Structure 1
Amino acid sequence: MIKTAIGDNIDCETLKHKFYEIIPDNFESLDRFEIDCFKEDNYLVILINESNPELIDRIKNILEEYQIVDNFIIRDFHDAEKIYFSKIEQNLEVLNKKNYYTSQNFSIGFIISILGIFSLGIVGIFYYFTRPCVLGNCSVIAEKETSISSQFKDKSQDLTEENIKNLQLSLITAINELKRIPPWSKFHEEATFFIKQYENEVNQLEQLLTALQLEKDSKSLTKNLPLSIDEWNRIKSFWQQAIELIKSITIEDLQSFKQEKLSLYQNQLTVTENNIIKEKQAEENLIKAQNLATEIENKEKQITTLTDLENIEKRWETAIKQIESIEPLTKAYQEKEQILNTYLANLIKIQKQITTEKNALNIKNQAQKTIDLALESQKNNQWTKAVSLWENAINSLKKISPNTLITKEIKDLEINTTKQLETAKSELKQAIVREEIKNELKNICNNGELRCSYSVDKSTVKIFLAEEYLKKIASLSNLNRLTKNNEQEKQINTHIEQVEKNYQYISTKYKILVEVYNPQRQLIMIYHTPI
């Protein structure tokens, strides 16, 4: 315990707490403030890592606030030879000055000075021989070595962040204890060896803490998947740094922990590299699909044939496969569903159009076959059949959707087919008329005897009088003149008039020219419709 004038003794930890509480606030310029203290042979030793006059004054003020009565020394944290302040020397100086200025007796002052120098020598000798490990054996080195080794073995079984920091603290405490062994001690070299070893182990533990923090940071980032390629590369660098830090650890008691972590970190690095590859592939597939979609959209503006449509269908299928290959837990996967639905809709639209175009072509081809049959029927003057075929062709063409690639072609074909139908209907009508004329002529020319033959075309009916029929008429006329049979003559005239009426009837009814020829094929009479 440290003695105070007010009666309440305090320990070094309380005093250190006071130093750390007040001093950093007043000395922001200090990069890393370190202070420690311990009681040694009835005087207080305060260790600091920087020689700063204001800092030393502040420490002295704090000691005065607590009214510390023990003598104290402020020296360097790492070098016991550097003493920044000694209260013993200050007291002697004050005493000498006081005696110098107040003493009126030179001999008394001289004696006091001699006594002061003698006292200082005694204190110095006392300080020299009372430092640790100066006289006798040095148990502190073995104790610290045993303690540190034991702690490493205990805590290496459960090497948490807290345990690592506790190990560091133990090592720093051991270092400070060993630094108290002065250079004039025969154990100083051994102490220096362990100080360097412990400092190296403190640094390795700091590297271990850094590696564990990198592990935490990596795991924290991977909680929010998916990640971008830049984020995955950052995680990759974390694992690489952690691996290098773990590899640098040479502390024997941590080798098992080192190998465990090294295996874990290398596995995680492999996983991260695979994720980078997966992310790059997903991004590449997405870009390829989007570029292909843009290309398809441009091609769709230039479609002219069914082959063009089928090529676009294949391209949409390729783009869809690229989108479907995007793996989960990637950035591109977030866009996958929406893009895939759009591409599928476009594919379905194209497939429907292809179906429509194929149906249109099938109907057109079937209609063309019907048209060919209709033309063949016309050549054979089969007008009834031709009309039916033309009507079937038109009805087929009307079934074709109006919005196809062959719409114009179908429209032109339909117009031509309609004209052909009208022509066929007209020809059929004329053929029917001709058949009616033939039936009329059949009754006229074959009424119990063959009176005539005939031919009927589109504009003319030609009647050829039978030679036997004319001879019979002539013979009856001659006989009538000889017999002067008026009744017979009247019948002959009536017959001839009826024949002429029949010819005129046909011409008038069917509005067609009727030509009458004698057996020698000479035109003898023409009947036509009056204008």
Structure 2
Amino acid sequence: MIKTAVGENLDYTTLKREFHEIISRDFEHLDRVEIDCFQEDNYLVILISENIPELLDRIKDILTGYQIIDNFIIRNINDKEIIYYDSIDNSSEDIKRSNYYNSQNFSVGFIISILGVLSLGIVGIFYYFTRPCVLGECTVIAETKTLILEDFKENTQDLNQENIKSLQVTLIEGINELKRIPSWSKSHKEATSAIVKYQEDVKQLDNLLQALQLENNSKSLTNNLPLSLDEWTRVKDFWQESIDLINTLTIESLQNFKQEKLNLYQSQLTIAQTNIDKEKQAEENLIQAQNLAQQIETQQKEITNLTDLENIEQSWQTAIKQIESIEPLTKAYQEKESILNNYLVNLIEIQKRIAYEKNAVNQKKQAEKTINLALDSQKNNQWTKAVSYWENALNEVKKIPTETFIASESKTLENNITKQLDKAKLELKQAIVRQEIKAELETICNQTELKCNYSIDNNSIKIFLNQEYLQKISTLSNLNSLTNNDAQKQQVNTHIEQVEKNYQYLSQKYKMLVEVYNPQRQLIMIYNTPF
């Protein structure tokens, strides 16, 4: 079986079949080419009768596709000395000289194996004795400790975040140096103990960095006074967490620095708590004032007369006094000015409303007088006057302020006036249209003789033809038939066509149904223009 990189072994029969399929499919002109494959001394040997570069490339592609990991060689099927390709890049001359059935391969391999073992042994012995602190006196530990102590002495004079990070780098470098001491060294135990200590120092310096960062956070927040209760609580938590972190610091050379920071942090923690208490009191005063304002706003919704307005006015004055009692240097005090201005605005609005109420009543009375005039005009079918009065009444009622006691009544009145105005406008428009239609019909029916009578409503025009007029048309038609007077006949037809056009014209212009009746009041024609 042939080994592949994907873990699936490939048999020689399958591989040979692949080769033959390639030849029969893509190299039909090479029907005499012979090909075989087998294993020989850990080589996959492929025999081929002719050196055809295109075929060799296809064979290598197949082997690549199967990810074959065995070394392979392609040579002539008749002469094994003729080699076309070797996967490990051996030259043709090398392979020619090699005898894959010769036992010398075993001897060479054995010698190489012995040399490899000896080399590994020499390297191992060299590695064992050249590691730090294996031979002679161990100076690495002392040198590392000295270097770290000197770095701490230098950087603790003016300790800041940058210096602390520098100390951590020194500690980590020292730890890495001590880790080079192997387990077979007599100093390994001492090195391990130092590593544990320095790792703990790195962790403590991390805590110190966090404490300093929290200190900066607290200072950053308190640079923008006043703060809210939540913000002061965060500041307090920052200081408390800083105290907890710096208390973990046991490095001897940093104890003075630790104590200075503890004194500062404890002092700031007390200040933060004082401000929390002060902020709570200010916030309580603010809430009380706001609650009173909410009560006033609720009472405003139930106002029904002028006395109620005066009571609300006095309540706003009380709320304003409570807002003024808020202490300075608090977050609530920062809101004091805007809230106070708002309450003053509300007080002024109440005072304005008293004047509005009186004005509203007068406006309503004036609107009611105008309404009565409009109704009288409608009774007399004086639609032009009625529309004018309704428009005046609408303008007057719209002047009534919407925040007055009679706002609801005025809105209802406004809606009724609007409906009456729309109705009056429609009646006026229809009256104008009827007047226009009447003038048109007067021309059509009575211009030279009485041709018809008519009636007009909002939806239709009814035309009643005159008996004498119809008799005249009939007589002329009969006479023209007897005399064959074409000119007279054409004149009658033209007249009839014009009459029909007149009726159609009325229907189109006014978008109304035109009904034509005979003298016996029977419907004989309808003109209905779609619209």
| Normalised-by-shorter TM-score class | 0.3 to 0.5
* Pair member with larger Rg: 1
